[in-house]
Amino acid sequence: MTNQELWKIVLDEMELSLSKANFTTWFKNTSIVSSSDTAILINVPNGFAKEWLEKKFNKTIFKIIGDVKPEVREIKYTIGGGNLAERIQKGDFAQFIKNESVKKESADLEVNKTNNLNKRYTFDFFIVGSNNELAHAASLAVVKNLGKTYNPLFLYGGVGLGKTHLLHSIGNKIFSKDPSCKILYTPAEKITAEILDSLKNKTIEDLKQKYCLLDLLIIDDIQFVAGKEKTQEIIFSTFNELYSKNKQIILSSDRPPSAIPTLEERLRSRFEGGMIADIGIPDFETRLAILKLKATQKDFDIDDQSLSYIATNIQRNVRELEGALNRIYAFSQIYNKIPNFKEVKKLLAAYLSTPFKKTTHQTILKAVSDFYDVSINDIVKRSRKKEVVRPRQVCMFLLREETKYSFPEIGSKLGNRDHSTIIHGYEKIKAEEDADQRTKQELTLIKEKIYQTFDA
């Protein structure tokens, strides 16, 4: 397989998962310019695109390439023109990898290798608004009285709203107060992998001991342990051990414990036994404050009118806010000038051209399928399984609300069901949305999944 063919596979996969504007912004004029048996060198048009691909998309790119060429161990990025491939000699590639690795090491210094905390995320750089006041206050309370005030602390909210920032802020603040404090931040997917490895290597007791010696255990995206019986068993025993010693546990998820499917009831009960705080969509003032802080951090003197324009037009995701600002910042770096308001509107035209509420039935089916952990096939087919009925009705509701399809059209998308069935399902969820807070939360979280443009 040629480098061109391999990169086309990557581009095709990325285009499916990103909005057109984001795909164009970060992947236009990129290519694989050189490769060895174990390393890939990717050319990008500017330094800003290089930084963004390294920090935001490298994990996904690595996975796509790894599926095709599992022997690849390193992916590096370089800035150059269209003739870069001609300028790279085959023998120089290994040396390039070595030089780039040095730069990577300096970036890695931001993460504490012992506790996995990122030093960039602190309370000083967390903007508090009406959407996150409770979560922020609860986090500060935990810092002041570790293991005693809110234990566990459970934070939930959609993608890109600041959960991970708060988790790291808590850990960093506690570590700054007491460097001897044993802290560990870990994503749920990583703890699952560690448990599987330890079971395979028969070192599970050593791993359990490692967790049980902690003063503070922080698990991000805990929803990913749902359905994994052995992982839940180990987390349950670890939870009980730490809790009995008044050691602090902090968890985050994209939804409240009650809405996590296939989560063991005993774990759900433990998660709900402390403080649960949600992080919602930021209001205009909070969005504007976030943009001003990000601009200050970049030493970027952009005018208030432009910032207000971004804050007005991008409403649901902090990462999207930052992405829009970064697009303008990239322009200023490339052309060595700060764009005026007219230029800002032009720069963001493609970014904002697709109305927020434009989606497809496939996207809705995928979001509902992921949220309730049922297959799309079961939702669409005539399955009468109890666990499928409600997700199917939610699809009926969202297809009507978000795509404005007629009831017969929705019926055709869901296995040629009669329009009267669709009306019944739609009205049932509509009534629940108005009367039941849990249903309202579920629908909000699913919509955030539908409209999120990219992950961390």
| Sequential DSSP letters for 81-128 | -TTHHHH--GGGHHHHHHHHHHHHHHHHTTB-TTT--BTT--GGG---
Per-residue model confidence (pLDDT) at position 263: 87
**CA–CA distance, 126 with 128 (Å, rounded to integer):** 6
Q: What are phi and psi of 391, to 5 degrees?
A: -55, -40
Give the torsion through C-alpha atoms of 142, 146, 147, 149, to 10 deg: -40
**CA–CA distance, 348 with 151 (Å, rounded to integer):** 44
Question: What would the mean pLDDT of 417-443 be, rounded to a whole number?
Answer: 85
DSSP state for residue 57 in the 8-state scheme: I
Domain(s) of CATH 3.40.50.300: residues in the chain: 123-279
| pLDDT tens digits for range 101-121 | 434 444 455 788 899 999 989
Band (pLDDT 50/70/90 cuts) for residue 351 is: low
| pLDDT tens digits for range 162-176 | 899 999 999 999 999
What tokens were used for 345?
Answer: 């509107």
CATH of domain 3-108: 3.30.300.180
- Does 186 count as an annotated binding residue? no
Q: How far is CA 447 from CA 34, 156, 243, in A?
A: 41, 15, 35
Task: Find the DSSP H helices in 18-92.
Answer: 20-27, 47-52, 58-68, 84-87
| Residue of 138, 115, 117, 136 whose CA lies nearest to 125 | 136
What tokens were used for 207?
Answer: 């791993």
- Does 163 count as an annotated binding residue? yes
**Is the per-residue pLDDT at 294 higher than 80?**
yes
Q: Which residues contact 454 (CB under 8 A, 6 or more apart)?
A: 17, 18, 19, 22, 56, 57, 319, 323
- The fold adopted by the segment(s) 123-279 is Rossmann fold (3.40.50)
Residue 389's DSSP bridge partners are: none
Which of the listed ranges 54-68, 205-219, 353-367 does the model predict with the highest average pLDDT?
Answer: 205-219
Question: What would the mean pLDDT of 9-16 be, rounded to a whole number?
Answer: 87
Question: What would the mean pLDDT of 131-148 be, rounded to a whole number?
Answer: 93
Q: What is the separation of C-alpha 43 from the centre of its chain, rounded to a whole number of angstroms?
A: 25
- Does 164 count as an annotated binding residue? yes
Largest CA-CA distance found in the chain, in angstroms, rounded: 68
| pLDDT tens digits for range 191-238 | 888 898 899 899 999 999 999 999 999 999 998 888 888 899 999 999
| Residue of 125, 218, 111, 115 whose CA lies nearest to 165 | 125
Residue 41's DSSP bridge partners are: 34, 76
0.85 surpassed by pTM: no
Domain(s) of CATH 1.10.8.60: residues in the chain: 284-353
CATH of domain 361-451: 1.10.1750.10
Better-predicted residue by pLDDT, 372 or 1: 372
Q: How far is CA 7 from CA 40, 72, 75, 82, 85, in A?
A: 10, 14, 12, 15, 14
Query: Which residue type is seen at 194?
Result: E
**Is the per-residue pLDDT at 414 higher than 80?**
yes
Q: What are phi and psi of 185, to 5 degrees?
A: -100, 130
Q: How far is CA 423 from CA 215, 364, 441, in A?
A: 53, 18, 22
CATH of domain 284-353: 1.10.8.60
**CA–CA distance, 52 with 127 (Å, rounded to integer):** 22
Per-residue model confidence (pLDDT) at position 20: 76
DSSP state for residue 71 in the 8-state scheme: T
**CA–CA distance, 189 with 219 (Å, rounded to integer):** 9
Domain(s) of CATH 1.10.1750.10: residues in the chain: 361-451
- 3-class DSSP state of 338: coil
User: What count of other Cβ atoms lies within 10 Å of the Cβ of residue 318?
Assistant: 24
**CA–CA distance, 454 with 330 (Å, rounded to integer):** 19
- Does 238 count as an annotated binding residue? no
Band (pLDDT 50/70/90 cuts) for residue 131 is: confident
